[in-house]
Structure 1
Amino acid sequence: MSPALAACGSNDGPGLVRARPKLTHGVAVGDPRSDGALIWARSDQPATLVVETSATESFRDVKRFTGPLLTPESDGTGRVRVNGLPAGQVVHYRVHLEGDGGANSEPVTGVFRTAPTAAADINLVWSGDVAGQGFGINPDVGGMRVFKAMAARDPHLFLHSGDAIYADNAIKESVTLPDGRVWRNVTAEAKNAPAETLDQFRGNYAYNLTDDNYRAFNSTVAQVVQWDDHETTNNWSPGGTVAAEKGYRERSMDVLAARSWQAFHEWMPLETKEAVDGRLYRKISYGPLLDVFVLDMRAYKDANNANNGPAGSIFGAAQTRWLTEGLRTSTATWKIVAADLPLGVVVPDGKTAFEGPANAAPGAPSGRETEVAQVLSSIKANKVRNVVWLTADVHYTAAHRYAPERATFTDFDEFWEFVSGPLNAGAFGPNDLDPTFGPEAVFVHAPPAPNTSPLDLEFQHFGEVRIDGKTSELTVNLCDATGKVLFAKKLEPKR
């Protein structure tokens, strides 16, 4: 039980009024459909989640949805899917909590857009990597300003590409930078050390949501969320062990991942039963112009030091089949594959191990590249058009064009991968590219020195995808945290 819930009590006794429940960390919207979306909230004490929706800000015509009882077992969190709403419309929603004896919370309001059922303009932003490398919420600069910059683009969707928290990074009161500047942090007990207990993992999500910009963004933009490694510990993979020198008492990555996984599903706006595997990977259909295939490249991967053999796992067999079949049967004009790790960027884990599919080995696909090759070959064989890959993870932004004429493996059609990040974390890069699938770095924006702080907003990044409802053209903008567009690429749909 978190401290917030443990401390709350019922003011029992004659003449005493029971305390009103409180929404502690704002509200959030997730996984929208044409008739609604998931609405998430958290209570400071046992209370029932209630959501009201309306077509207008005045809430004159209201639909009411009663959600679950929010209890300490889920750290006070919960969600309810609102449905039966009109497609392609702005929905105003109002959330409150109903406690015992008619004690209700103050309401919190927000807006979201339902997915369209006819061709319409679509605006999606994506990025990842929040509050990493010890850079937390800095009150001197107005908190996590990048979320305000993303909100200013008025997006319909936010694709969170992973590393939503840095459970393995403590947040200290200040960080002195190499040039003498000082980054100052808001601190919290759960961020005093790397997370090992369930409550510490929960506290990492709670910490990020004390930022005003993040909460405001959550209330107005529907999210599609993924996870990567820092939700658990750096570079984790199933069956792994945390190095002894990192000082963890619990060194089993599987144990840490189980606790992390629970906190992730409690604190993020997604529903496990709506995922294909009851965990994370799923398809979000957003009208006739867009399908988003949300991948889990963490839970099914093999060990980082096992990426050089004749075979390997990054998606797992079941997810590979799901992805190839889903792409083959998709009728949407554009298919975005939301990957939490880039395909051709070499991400080392020490001297001989690798994080993602790329293993810096030229020649035929090996290790995890074999599953990527299966997917790419299937796309070509089934004549699947207009597939774009979006990712984060490496803490810089880039546009990569993959083409068979440059590749050592050639059984695929040309495609683009766009990379963005970080969101309020240290900036790094750029990394080397693996030649197997022939990537070309058409554009790269990375800092001049590793671990450049978020004080330098030009090296904090998010990406934007705009689809024109009339022409079906897709434009990708790579932006910095001031909202400046650094690079743009327009893609014409192939019929």
Structure 2
Amino acid sequence: MKKTRMIGLSLSLSLGLVASYVPKAMAAYEQVKQPSMLQPIVDHVDVIAHRGASGYAPEHTLAAYEKAIKMKANYVELDLHMTKDGELIAIHDSTLARTTNVEEKYPDRAPWRVKDFTLAEIKKLDAGSWFNKTYPEYAKKQYVGEKIPTLQEVIDFIKKKGSKVALYIETKDPDVYPGMEEKLVEILKKNGYLKKDKVVFQSFSEASLRKLQEIVPKDIPLLQLYSPNMIQGKNLDDVFNRAAEYAEGVGPDKSLVTPAFMQEAHEHHMIVHPYTVNTKDEMVEQLSLGVDGMFTNYPDRLVELNKKAYISHGAASGEVTDTSAVLWARTSQPAMVRFEVSDDASFKKAIIKTEKAASKHDLTVQVKVTRLKPDTIYYYRVQALPGSNQVSGTFKTAPAKNELKPLTIVWGGDTGGQGNIPPFKAFSEMADLKPDFFLFSGDTIYADNATPAVPNPPSKNIEDFWAKYKENRTDPNLRKLLQSTSTYAIWDDHEVKNDFSGPFEPLTSTGFRAFTDYWPISDERSSSGKLYHKFSWGNTVDLFILNNRSYRDPDTKPDGMDKTMLGQEQLEWLKKELLNSDAQVKLIASSVPISIPTGKPNARDSWANGDNINPNDNTGYEHEFAKISKFIKENNIKNVNFVTADIHYADIIQYDPDHNGTVDYREFASGPIGAGTGQPTTLDPTFGPERLYAEGGFFNFGVIKVDPGLKQLTVEIRDENGKVHFHRDFPIE
């Protein structure tokens, strides 16, 4: 691969050290910093004016190039074709029809290919009027009569303007124009532009780039352009190994840019310049993935994002009650963040909250909004000041305490594990159901698995953990869901380390810190460190969120009356809240299942010990769950449903622990949303489970609908495309 100073590798993270905020027990872990592949490998994200500032002026005209120069673009892009008499001109299409009046001027010369016209004939064409008709909001009288410029005219124009802008030249259809590359090099050399800081070459044609490699100085960058169909179905490592033979980078269609694509590119030390990125939202998404530059028709927008703070990884709402909500966002640099909340989409009357995004929380910021109205849709927008870019979202408050209102919940867990990385299609399908809230049932990241964010796991320091959350937030589908409804987030083992027991794992405090930085969580849950809490949806549902990690004894400890997963305080809290609940439906959100043995033999991680699988296995936490089961039964608490994940397949189970023919509670398990898929295993029989449905081998999520009028609870399991695999209506007793 050719090496150039343009690619100033800087793979070490520039996130700032936070050792002073980390417990002393973590000091050893804080010494090792790992590179993320989801950050630029250059010192500056380049602004490439696509066909000039072509969103504001006719493409490939001096007017478009002048606007790009004024907007401080780093490069103006030129697509080159060759005329019949051998002149290189700047035009994108191989024909003149779309951007000139050639059909009117030369009606008998269809299909009006560039190669069939002399430069003198082309200079008679109007290359600007079409723009005024197509984009009237940017129309200007002076665009009428704009001409298609030659390469020489573009160079002369830039020199006249005294600009430092460089050229980003694409050889278009080079097989149609023999000698194009030699002619191009000759002109650039004559004008002093055959230098690394003056020009970059790009092409969809590998042959053209290989020819240029032989005739230009070694330090001039070459970039291979890719359309989706060029690499569809191909191994990315093979693609980049080949490209690295002659190119310093790639120019992919923006749809191709994913964490996996970025990892392959940056591991090959190749820069990534996607095309064509025009909206600020698209630009922010590409920046979150770590691209090294972008082609855009609106260079001023990217210039602003490079200079001013912006909301970098979407926004979210959570912990919603009937009168309050927590809002979350992250900025690109330290900034004051402004939140506006209103029940009116026009924001005529809005609650305004501001909070500073600081490095000690990885530039994440949260605010609590109070005095909201029950059972109301609220709109919010968030902005990092003084930047102009805004991110918006909606959430719905819970009904008043005594009201019975129907609701729809989506739930699932397990994202980013076993080689599965964003994007995750299921999140988009969840959002399309317009749920009242999303229950994220744990393993919201896989801190101990290899992904582009942390290629050498496990996560060892706070930067690693933060990087994992940012990686999943690059997923537009997840951002879509988080910005369309509220979220209640639970942590499980992979937020820290596989099957960890909180009091005995040195990384617990670091994982907890990152989890509470990246999810909208109330101070009541986070500042005390307890995480368990009850949320009510009117009188329809009480949601009991458990913390299955922070208080547990080691998985390897033999089970007994004193072994705990929840800790005594949390256990007593759960029993008290269940007893006092008068909600029609009780949902207990547990990150681990009841009767499905997880973990390893003699180190069971869920409630079940699996002694029917291994009679000598005396681990698990069955004695503690037996206390919960007995309490539900003895107090005749009806309509209790455990909502779980973690097992990487879907399972619907009902329980009759005393085998009297009466169902005492149920368990609904879904997942994975985006992790390794598993297959149903044998149920532990201790609590009398009856399996109603089980299916593995696919990405899935769950849907719960509660209809108080019909006194009916509906449960569905859907795949990542929204197809229903299981549907069952249960009566509300």
Match of 1:228 among 492, 495, 504: 492
Once the 2 structures are TM-superposed, how far is the Cα of residue 271 of structure 1 from its aligned partner? 2.4
Once the 2 structures are TM-superposed, how far is the Cα of residue 382 of structure 1 from its aligned partner? 2.2
Q: Are 1:21 and 2:347 an aligned pair?
A: no
- Paired position in structure 1 for 2:374: 87
Q: Which structure dedicates a bigger proportion of its chain to strand?
A: 1
- Paired position in structure 2 for 1:126: 411
- Paired position in structure 1 for 2:14: 3
- Paired position in structure 2 for 1:50: 338
Q: Are 1:297 and 2:548 an aligned pair?
A: yes
Structure 2 residue runs without a partner (length 5+): 1-11, 18-38, 45-303
Q: Secondary structure at the match of 1:136?
A: coil
Match of 2:440 among 152, 156, 160: 160
- Paired position in structure 2 for 1:386: 639
Q: Are 1:113 and 2:399 an aligned pair?
A: no
CA contact (8 A) 1:310 1:366 kept: no
Match of 1:31 among 316, 319, 331: 319
- Paired position in structure 2 for 1:14: none
Q: Distance between the aligned counterparts of 1:111 and 1:5, measured in 2?
A: 32
CA contact (8 A) 1:400 1:417 kept: yes
Match of 1:466 among 686, 705, 711: 705
1:196 is matched by which residue type in structure 2? K
CA contact (8 A) 1:115 1:286 kept: yes
Q: Distance between the aligned counterparts of 2:421 and 2:445, measured in 1?
A: 10
Q: Secondary structure at the match of 1:462?
A: strand
Q: Secondary structure at the match of 2:347?
A: coil
Q: Which structure dedicates a bigger proportion of its chain to helix?
A: 2
Aligned residue-pair number? 432
C-alpha RMSD of the superposition: 2.5
C-alpha spacing 1:5/1:239, structure 2 compared with 1 (3 Å) = closer
Match of 2:626 among 359, 373, 391: 373
- Paired position in structure 2 for 1:479: 718
Q: Deviations over 1:160-201 (max 9, x none)?
A: 110000011112xxxxxxxxxxxxxxx34x344321111001
- Paired position in structure 1 for 2:537: 286
Q: Secondary structure at the match of 1:436?
A: coil
Q: Distance between the aligned counterparts of 1:238 and 1:85, measured in 2?
A: 36
- Paired position in structure 1 for 2:602: 352
Q: Distance between the aligned counterparts of 1:382 and 1:292, measured in 2?
A: 19
Q: Are 1:414 and 2:664 an aligned pair?
A: yes
1:423 is matched by which residue type in structure 2? I
- Paired position in structure 1 for 2:466: 202
- Paired position in structure 2 for 1:177: none
Once the 2 structures are TM-superposed, how far is the Cα of residue 441 of structure 1 from its aligned partner? 1.4
Once the 2 structures are TM-superposed, how far is the Cα of residue 5 of structure 1 from its aligned partner? 6.7
1:387 is matched by which residue type in structure 2? V
Q: Are 1:75 and 2:362 an aligned pair?
A: yes
Q: Secondary structure at the match of 2:405?
A: coil
- Paired position in structure 2 for 1:244: none
C-alpha spacing 1:222/1:307, structure 2 compared with 1 (3 Å) = farther
1:375 is matched by which residue type in structure 2? I
Match of 1:317 among 540, 564, 568: 568
1:472 is matched by which residue type in structure 2? K
Structure 1 residue runs without a partner (length 5+): 10-16, 138-142, 172-186, 241-253, 448-458
CA contact (8 A) 2:399 2:538 kept: yes
Q: Distance between the aligned counterparts of 2:488 and 2:503, measured in 1?
A: 27
CA contact (8 A) 1:275 1:282 kept: no
Q: TM-score, normalised by structure 2?
A: 0.56
C-alpha spacing 1:105/1:258, structure 2 compared with 1 (3 Å) = farther
- Paired position in structure 2 for 1:266: 517
> Percent of counterpart pairs with the same letter?
33
Once the 2 structures are TM-superposed, how far is the Cα of residue 310 of structure 1 from its aligned partner? 4.8
Once the 2 structures are TM-superposed, how far is the Cα of residue 61 of structure 1 from its aligned partner? 2.4
CA contact (8 A) 1:129 1:164 kept: yes
Bigger CA radius of gyration: 2
- Paired position in structure 2 for 1:428: 678
C-alpha spacing 1:169/1:274, structure 2 compared with 1 (3 Å) = closer
CA contact (8 A) 2:450 2:456 kept: yes
2:727 is matched by which residue type in structure 1? A
C-alpha spacing 1:329/1:90, structure 2 compared with 1 (3 Å) = same
1:119 is matched by which residue type in structure 2? L
Once the 2 structures are TM-superposed, how far is the Cα of residue 56 of structure 1 from its aligned partner? 2.7
Q: Deviations over 1:87-125 (max 9, x none)?
A: 111111111123xxxx24411111111111222120001
Once the 2 structures are TM-superposed, how far is the Cα of residue 235 of structure 1 from its aligned partner? 1.4
Q: Deviations over 1:111-142 (max 9, x none)?
A: 111111222120001100001101112xxxxx
Q: Are 1:151 and 2:431 an aligned pair?
A: yes
- Paired position in structure 2 for 1:182: none
Q: Are 1:438 and 2:688 an aligned pair?
A: yes
Once the 2 structures are TM-superposed, how far is the Cα of residue 234 of structure 1 from its aligned partner? 1.1
Q: Deviations over 1:205-224 (max 9, x none)?
A: 01100111111111112000
Q: TM-score, normalised by structure 1?
A: 0.82
C-alpha spacing 1:237/1:321, structure 2 compared with 1 (3 Å) = same
Q: Deviations over 1:316-337 (max 9, x none)?
A: 1111000000000012111100
Once the 2 structures are TM-superposed, how far is the Cα of residue 304 of structure 1 from its aligned partner? 1.4
C-alpha spacing 1:53/1:272, structure 2 compared with 1 (3 Å) = closer
Q: Distance between the aligned counterparts of 2:710 and 2:691, measured in 1?
A: 27
Q: Distance between the aligned counterparts of 2:538 and 2:332, measured in 1?
A: 37
C-alpha spacing 1:201/1:289, structure 2 compared with 1 (3 Å) = same
CA contact (8 A) 1:311 1:366 kept: no
- Paired position in structure 2 for 1:453: none
CA contact (8 A) 2:557 2:619 kept: no
Q: Distance between the aligned counterparts of 1:53 and 1:167, measured in 2?
A: 33
CA contact (8 A) 1:311 1:367 kept: no
Q: Are 1:170 and 2:450 an aligned pair?
A: yes
C-alpha spacing 1:119/1:268, structure 2 compared with 1 (3 Å) = same
Q: Distance between the aligned counterparts of 1:134 and 1:145, measured in 2?
A: 16
Bigger relative contact order (CA 8 A; separation at least 6): 1
- Paired position in structure 2 for 1:217: 481
Q: Distance between the aligned counterparts of 2:665 and 2:530, measured in 1?
A: 28
2:731 is matched by which residue type in structure 1? E
Once the 2 structures are TM-superposed, how far is the Cα of residue 78 of structure 1 from its aligned partner? 1.4
Q: Are 1:332 and 2:583 an aligned pair?
A: yes
Q: Distance between the aligned counterparts of 1:3 and 1:60, measured in 2?
A: 40
Q: Secondary structure at the match of 2:493?
A: coil
Once the 2 structures are TM-superposed, how far is the Cα of residue 54 of structure 1 from its aligned partner? 1.9
C-alpha spacing 1:348/1:389, structure 2 compared with 1 (3 Å) = same
Bigger Cα displacement from structure 2, 326-335 vs 276-285 = 276-285
- Paired position in structure 1 for 2:650: 397
CA contact (8 A) 1:191 1:200 kept: no
1:83 is matched by which residue type in structure 2? T
